Amino acid sequence: MAAKQKKATTPSSFHYDAIVIGTGPGGEGVAMQLAKAGKKVAVVERYEAVGGGCTHWGTIPSKALRHSVSRLIEYNSSPLFADNHLSRSLTFSEIMHHASGVVKSQTRLRASFYDRNRVTLFHGEASFVDAHTLEITRQDGSKDTVTAAQIAIATGSRPYTPSDIDFTHPRIYNSDTILSLDHDPKSIIIYGAGVIGSEYASIFRGLGVKVDLVNMRDRLLSFLDTEISDALSYHLWNNGVLIRHNETYKSVEATDDSVILNLESGKRMRADCLLFANGRTGNTDTLGLQNIGLKADGRGQLRVNENYQTEVDNVYAVGDVIGYPSLASAAYNQGRFAAEAMLEGKTHAELVADIPTGIYTIPEISSVGKTEQELTAAKIPYEVGRAQFKHLARAQIASTQVGSLKILFHRETKEVLGIHCFGERASEIVHIGQAIMQQTGEGNTIDYFVNTTFNYPTMAEAYRVAAINGLNRIF
């Protein structure tokens, strides 16, 4: 296979050595790696600005929005400002102005990468003519036809929108369109209590909006360690979010002033607007995959091998369009690994086995490694070390005392098996534990956290507290 690829990469045969469809983290990873290896590369972006869903509708704007709401909550709950006798309030659209600025900054930065590395950028909708040829349709209807030895699909995903719900109605949103919310709702129904639904439940509740969160399963984020999932459920409940478990929708009625959600259980719910956040679909339906003998699955996703190669030898795919883990952080690395396979015939690297999970609720959740439930099922003799944030000086100073850090480790070898964190800055804190878990041999033991010296006062100190707590349980 490698020989065939090298033979095909001749300037006289094709316009480019490689074309990448999509400029999100996955596409950027492919394009930058190939360009730095001296290849002639083009990228195709269907929208006006580069960055993909991550930059424009997903990770960046929602996390900027979350940060602003979190700071607003801190202000209103801080004893420093209690003498004002007034709580500040902001609307969703007001806070989105800040998020828009972050998106613009990120877009300019990402666009500069393509300019600096002499990657040609086409704006338009790409579809396959054959395995080496793409037709690119611009917004004005004009078309370009370009060819390449190799093509990488990094088209990402979009919210799943069932046909029986009218998403054109001004009170019905998905996780992309919710960012354009321009009125000030007093209540919202969020259908789908996965990562996106739970994050937006925190955000809207932080803005003082009445939130009903409808979950199709019997617990929130069931892939998490049970204690962490329970902590999130309690925190949302304690802040006034009404969670309905084991429910599915039957129909949605929208009027000029409200939305009614009818559930299969017979319950009826009404709110100012509805956010439907139940799953995502890979963006493959407009690619003309049938012209190259490829077919996506029912969720619009493509199957690839360990080299991110599809069933068509010269066509690769990375990011959300191939499914798990569907994370921006992982997509960028997938892009780099796919580029290596495109250059060398195979990749010599792979995603780390323990991919950290970052969930940007208020407070954050982050974990890496095994859960207590997984270790119990595998009959691995583990022990638990805990640190409550309320006992840390840094948390007391910053008034971020909600949450805790939990370390799971092997009773006999002391190997760190899992890190689970709930609280402000959890997605940063988890990486300290991840770094130790990635060490081999005796480098990965809980003793590291006891024997090293942490700055004081810091949130990182939670590792020392949790480690000592866990070691005290061993007899």
Look up residue 221 and give its two tokens: 């984020």
Contact of 375 with 83, CB cutoff 8 Å = no
Burial (CB < 10 A; 0-12, 13-18, 19+), residue 90, is middle
- Cis amide linkage into residue 457, ω under 30° from 0: yes
| Residue 319 phi, psi dihedral angles, 5° rounding | 85, -155
Contact of 40 with 164, CB cutoff 8 Å = no
Which residue ranges are tagged as binding site? 45-54, 63, 155-157, 192-199, 279, 320
Look up residue 251 and give its two tokens: 């129909």
- Amino acid identity of residue 314, one-letter, is N
Q: For residue 100, how far is the Cα from the chain centroid?
A: 19
Distance CA 375, CA 415 (A): 13
Strands 172-174 and 120-123: unpaired
Contact of 107 with 100, CB cutoff 8 Å = no
DSSP state of 441: G
**Segment holding 69, helix H or strand E:** helix 59-77
Return the SS3 of 292. Answer: helix
Look up residue 83 and give its two tokens: 């003498």
Tokens 């080299």 locate to 307
Tokens 């090293």 locate to 452
DSSP state of 382: E
Contact of 454 with 461, CB cutoff 8 Å = yes
Contact of 95 with 68, CB cutoff 8 Å = yes
Distance CA 34, CA 36 (A): 5
Which residue ranges are tagged as binding site for FAD? 45-54, 63, 155-157, 320
**Segment holding 4, helix H or strand E:** helix 2-8
Distance CA 280, CA 301 (A): 10
Distance CA 36, CA 356 (A): 28
How far from 82 is each of 75, 86, 87, CA to CA, in Å?
A: 9, 8, 8
- Amino acid identity of residue 449, one-letter, is F
| Residue 155 phi, psi dihedral angles, 5° rounding | -90, 0
Which residue ranges are tagged as binding site for NAD(+)? 192-199, 279
